[in-house]
Structure 1
Amino acid sequence: MNNLVAKIEKMKPFFEKVSRNKYLKAIRDGFMSAMPVVLFSSIFMLIAYVPNIFGYYWPANIESMILKPYNYSMGILAVLVAGSTAKNLADSFNRELPINRQINNISTFMAGVVGLLLIAADPIKEGFASGYMGSKGLLSAFFVAFFVCNVYKFCVKRDITIHMPKEVPPNISQTFADVIPFAISILLLALFDIVFRDLVGINFAAAVIEFFKPLFTAADGYLGLAIIYGAMAMFWFVGIQGPSIVEPAVSAIYYVNIANNLGLYQAGEHANNILTPGVQQFVATLGGTGATLVVTLMFAFMAKSKELKAVGRASSIPVLFGVNEPILFGAPLILNPIFFIPFIGAPILNVWLFKAFVDFLGMNSFMYILPWTCPAPLGIVLGCGISLLSLLFAVLVLVIDFIVYYPFFKVYDKEKCEEEALKDQEETATEETEESVEVSGDVVDGKRVLVLCAGGGTSGLLANALAKGAEEKGIKMTTAAGSYGAHYDMLKDFDLVVLAPQVANYYQDLKIDTDRLGIKSVACQGKQYIALTRDPEKALEFVFSILNGESEEQ
């Protein structure tokens, strides 16, 4: 097992390179930007249709009023994602371009929106059909975003633009500078749309859905599910944020499937599409990647090891809400050969059991989108329509995870107890002998610190610890937590940016941005980060050492 883990770890640089791919990052960050829209709109879907479960149906006019915010938010998701993906890809391209020759990301956003409308909308008598403006148009949205940004990059690098006299204000000059790349992008897409419709007979977005239907079906099978969620867990096991690699490839399928599931349910049919956001958030990653909710509770209430018991109790609440970095790095679970099999196997068994419930017992799959921080068992019941079968599944999947993890937990607990018996205080003694850093209020007073992670959950742990440490010492410090990918416009407002472990592999990209702004940045590693979240004073000392130029972690 150690040899297998070592071989996988050797591939870590390759995995990191894949996770930093500009196009994958643009898709992920584009979705991240649109998540407030997704979560907001889903509230109205829940209000409209959850009462149906209990036999109550809104009058048609009331239902129409409730669904209007949904139709004009989630209903144009592809339009928004085309723009946000184009903007984020433009930001990535700009890191490689001279500071005085940058792509206007707002212009690419608008070109992405217009471009998608061109290739995905069908004209009707009074306006245009919006059937592919929502989740069904997501694949086309990515295509448009990539195309538009590459046209802009081509034009900007070769200075193909309208040059205005020096006397013209910069904001007006920029408007004219964007005319040519915008025009080329849209005219080429318009020409493509004309030719494609003439040859195929339908719009591009509709053709893409038809073309990828076999892939959607294959991905919903037992083998496809095992590959997708096994890969997510394996990447995380070696310290790479798994969804950053896998999710961009399946995100479009997620949202097409969940829209189809709701449509099937409304038509009185069986909602049977498996790959949805809820399956990832509440089934495969029950308590976080690796399905760690059960193992956290084992540590907290069954471990004989003092260290594991402390880690479990400290991690239980965050893991319940899907933030499992405290146990991933605190136990640790990642790169721990003992937990390799259950960490990869539990998510796969979870989704297989879910598919069996849907296929053979008739349980509805996920029809509603819920915040990823919703406690997983509750998310399963609510997302699948509050049925007896969903409640039974939520209980049974916890039992399955317990059975999978228990023997490996016992081995690790015994190992840790033996370590504690031989050198009971070694780690504590090492920490106690570390030289304490005297925090100077002049260095940190008034500073603004931004902590970034993958989804905004883990970063909040350190941001809160820093705020508490500053308050205890009477230091004025502003701390904020955010998600990597939705941070570009925030950077200028902070003095230091800290990357949590799961996004530490993006440090080189972040450093390019922070160096341009003249601010400091740092990436934390596993146990170091978890230790800082638990010790406000140490967290403050860490920030002081970075701001004071004494050290810089990478």
Structure 2
Amino acid sequence: MNAIIGFIEKGKPFFNKLAGNAYLQAIRDGFLAAMPAILFSSIFILCAALPEVFGVTLPAELSSWLWRVYNLSMGIVGILVAATTARALGESFSRKLPKGMTMNVVSVMLASISGYLMLAVTEIDGGIDVTYLGTKGLLCSFIAAFITANMYKFCTLKNITIKMPPEVPGVISNVFKNVFPFSFSVLCCVAIDFISTQFFGVRFAESLITLFSPLFSAADSYFGLGLIAGAMAFFWFLGIHGPSIVEPAVAAAIYANVEANLMLVQNGEQASHALTVGFNNFIACLGGTGCTLVVPFLFMWLCKSKQLKAVGKASFIPVIFNVNEPVLFAAPIVLNPYFFVPFLLAPIANAVLFKFFIDVLSMNSFIYVLPWATPAPVGLFLGTGMAPMALLCAVVLIAVDAL
């Protein structure tokens, strides 16, 4: 075991570098910035859909209003993430520019939104198709943000701008300063969409979904779910925030699948997509990364060590709300060879069991997005539509983790 830990520690610099990748951090920070809108919309979807679980039919006008609020918030999340991701990446690039050079991150955001619309919007009958303005367009959000931030960085470094005389007020000069990078960014997105339309006959957003569908399907398999859950735990075992590395790679899928599940349930079908936001928050991270919900209670009730008992007493409340840093670093679990195997296997077991409940026992997967700090059993129960099977699933997961 010590040899394994030694090998892992040798690779830690690489993993630290991966965790510090500007693009992964931008996706993470972009989602965090857009999270208020996502949670806001989830409140209205809960109000609109949960009464039906208990056989209550809301008045048509009230139901229509609730769905309208949801559609006009979650339905444009692609636009929001395009802006917030571009801002996060632009700020990251701006901090590393030579002294005296700056990037206007507000202009970067606006250019990213414009570029995103070029990639995601299709005109129909004098209007637009909004299909890819929501979670289905998240991949386009990232591409527009990356193109825009890099174009602004390039133009800033090469001083490609419209220079105004010194007499012109600074506010006006800044307007003209951003004309070239804004134009180049948007035109680049226009060119990409044009190529997609000419060669594939569909808009870029649709072609991108088609291209990545096999990967999303693979990630939603037993192996894929286990790999995602295990990877988050593995990185945290090294002391690196695992979800910050893994979640950006599957961000587009986990949000799109929630909406897809909701549509399935509304059509009278099973919500069958396991890889969702709720899976990451309440299954793979039951009580925090590594599925540590039961660990503080085991420390308090079974351990003879006064130190571990104290750790259990101090950490059980945070862990209930999925904040497990106190137990990770106080026990410690991080880089502790005795905890390596259970810390890695518990999330994988949870992922496999959750998939089993969906595929074999026909339990619905997550159809709502809830705050990550919701106690995991409660999040599992509410997020899947309050089905009794979800309670059984929560009990089984906790029991397995305790073993």
User: In which range does the TM-score fall when normalised by the shorter chain?
Assistant: over 0.9
1:365 maps to 365
Pairing 1:216–2:253 present: no
What CA distance in whole angstroms lies between the structure 1 residues aligned with 2:163 and 2:106? 19
The letter of the residue matching 1:204 is F
2:117 maps to 117
Alignment of 1:223-302 (within 5 A): 223-302=223-302
What CA distance in whole angstroms lies between the structure 1 residues aligned with 2:308 and 2:45? 42
* 8 Å Cα contact 2:284/2:290 also seen in 1: yes
Q: Percent identity?
A: 52
Alignment of 1:7-406 (within 5 A): 7-403=7-403
* 8 Å Cα contact 1:86/1:108 also seen in 2: yes
What CA distance in whole angstroms lies between the structure 1 residues aligned with 2:187 and 2:272? 41
Paired residue secondary structure (2:123): strand
Q: Structure 1 residue 297: deviation in Å?
A: 1.0
Gaps of 5+ in 1: 404-554
What CA distance in whole angstroms lies between the structure 1 residues aligned with 2:98 and 2:65? 50
Paired residue secondary structure (1:293): coil
Q: Structure 1 residue 100: deviation in Å?
A: 1.9
Paired residue secondary structure (2:49): helix
Gaps of 5+ in 2: none
What CA distance in whole angstroms lies between the structure 2 residues aligned with 1:165 and 1:74? 45
What CA distance in whole angstroms lies between the structure 1 residues aligned with 2:334 and 2:284? 17
* 8 Å Cα contact 2:192/2:204 also seen in 1: no
Paired residue secondary structure (1:215): helix
The letter of the residue matching 2:95 is R
Q: Structure 1 residue 174: deviation in Å?
A: 0.9
Paired residue secondary structure (1:11): helix
The letter of the residue matching 1:156 is T
Once the two structures are superposed, residues 323-350 of structure 1 have per-residue CA deviations (whole angstroms, 9 ceiling, x without a partner) of 1000000100111110100000000000
Number of residues of Structure 1 aligned to a counterpart in Structure 2: 403
The letter of the residue matching 1:233 is A
Name the TM-score, length of structure 1 as normaliser.
0.72
What CA distance in whole angstroms lies between the structure 1 residues aligned with 2:14 and 2:198? 42
The letter of the residue matching 2:19 is S
The letter of the residue matching 1:395 is V
What CA distance in whole angstroms lies between the structure 2 residues aligned with 1:335 and 1:118? 47
* 8 Å Cα contact 2:75/2:133 also seen in 1: yes
Once the two structures are superposed, residues 393-451 of structure 1 have per-residue CA deviations (whole angstroms, 9 ceiling, x without a partner) of 11111111011xxxxxxxxxxxxxxxxxxxxxxxxxxxxxxxxxxxxxxxxxxxxxxxx
Q: Structure 1 residue 383: deviation in Å?
A: 0.5
Larger helix fraction of residues: 2
* 8 Å Cα contact 2:196/2:207 also seen in 1: no
* 8 Å Cα contact 2:272/2:365 also seen in 1: yes
Once the two structures are superposed, residues 289-313 of structure 1 have per-residue CA deviations (whole angstroms, 9 ceiling, x without a partner) of 0100101111122221111111001
What CA distance in whole angstroms lies between the structure 2 residues aligned with 1:60 and 1:238? 53
Q: Structure 1 residue 159: deviation in Å?
A: 0.5
Q: Structure 1 residue 141: deviation in Å?
A: 0.8
Once the two structures are superposed, residues 495-517 of structure 1 have per-residue CA deviations (whole angstroms, 9 ceiling, x without a partner) of xxxxxxxxxxxxxxxxxxxxxxx
What CA distance in whole angstroms lies between the structure 1 residues aligned with 2:2 and 2:289? 21
Q: Structure 1 residue 260: deviation in Å?
A: 0.5
* 8 Å Cα contact 2:235/2:241 also seen in 1: yes
Summarize the Cα distance change of 1:212–1:65 in structure 2 as closer, same or farther, 3 Å threshold.
same
The letter of the residue matching 1:93 is F
* 8 Å Cα contact 1:26/1:86 also seen in 2: yes
Q: Structure 1 residue 99: deviation in Å?
A: 3.5
Paired residue secondary structure (2:46): helix
The letter of the residue matching 2:340 is F
Q: Structure 1 residue 163: deviation in Å?
A: 0.8
The letter of the residue matching 1:133 is L
What CA distance in whole angstroms lies between the structure 1 residues aligned with 2:46 and 2:64? 14
Name the TM-score, length of structure 2 as normaliser.
0.98
Q: Structure 1 residue 12: deviation in Å?
A: 0.8
| 120-129 vs 228-237, greater mean Cα deviation | 120-129
What CA distance in whole angstroms lies between the structure 2 residues aligned with 1:300 and 1:166? 70
What CA distance in whole angstroms lies between the structure 2 residues aligned with 1:20 and 1:346? 27
What CA distance in whole angstroms lies between the structure 2 residues aligned with 1:46 and 1:301? 37
RMSD between aligned residues: 1.0
What CA distance in whole angstroms lies between the structure 1 residues aligned with 2:216 and 2:233? 21
Superposed structure 1 runs of 4+ greater than 3 Å apart: none
Q: Structure 1 residue 125: deviation in Å?
A: 2.2
* 8 Å Cα contact 1:218/1:224 also seen in 2: yes
What CA distance in whole angstroms lies between the structure 2 residues aligned with 1:374 and 1:300? 23
What CA distance in whole angstroms lies between the structure 2 residues aligned with 1:45 and 1:215? 28
Once the two structures are superposed, residues 146-199 of structure 1 have per-residue CA deviations (whole angstroms, 9 ceiling, x without a partner) of 111111111111111011111222222111100111011112322332232122
Once the two structures are superposed, residues 506-548 of structure 1 have per-residue CA deviations (whole angstroms, 9 ceiling, x without a partner) of xxxxxxxxxxxxxxxxxxxxxxxxxxxxxxxxxxxxxxxxxxx
Q: Structure 1 residue 57: deviation in Å?
A: 2.4
What CA distance in whole angstroms lies between the structure 2 residues aligned with 1:206 and 1:58? 35
What CA distance in whole angstroms lies between the structure 1 residues aligned with 2:292 and 2:188? 49
The letter of the residue matching 2:39 is L
Q: Structure 1 residue 282: deviation in Å?
A: 0.6
* 8 Å Cα contact 1:27/1:85 also seen in 2: yes
Q: Structure 1 residue 202: deviation in Å?
A: 1.1
* 8 Å Cα contact 1:300/1:316 also seen in 2: no
